[in-house]
Amino acid sequence: MMESLESRLMPYFHIKHPTRGAVNGPYTKLPVGHRVRFLALDVIGTLSPGKNLAEVVSLALSDGAEKEYWSELYRIVL
């Protein structure tokens, strides 16, 4: 069940399109640094993400506060 949920959440962060290649998901359209982006990371962290979901989340993050927040959150979760 958790794998199914993770596979449905992954495109929100990053997609590997067959012809266009790597494409960022809707998460990247949220304003950088906005608390909604951090709340989305909290939701993923609460799910104790597997390696695949954690990797696509990392690909979607902007540099700075979000990457630092995610790395701390992901370290705590694992």
Mean pLDDT of 24-32: 93
Can you give the residue ranges of every domain in the chain?
2-77
pLDDT at 13 over 90: yes
- Percentage of the chain beyond pLDDT 70 is 99
Angle, vertex CA 9, rays to CA 18 and CA 28, nearest 5: 75
Q: Supply the mean pLDDT for the chain.
A: 91
CA distance 46 to 11: 18
pLDDT at 78 over 70: no
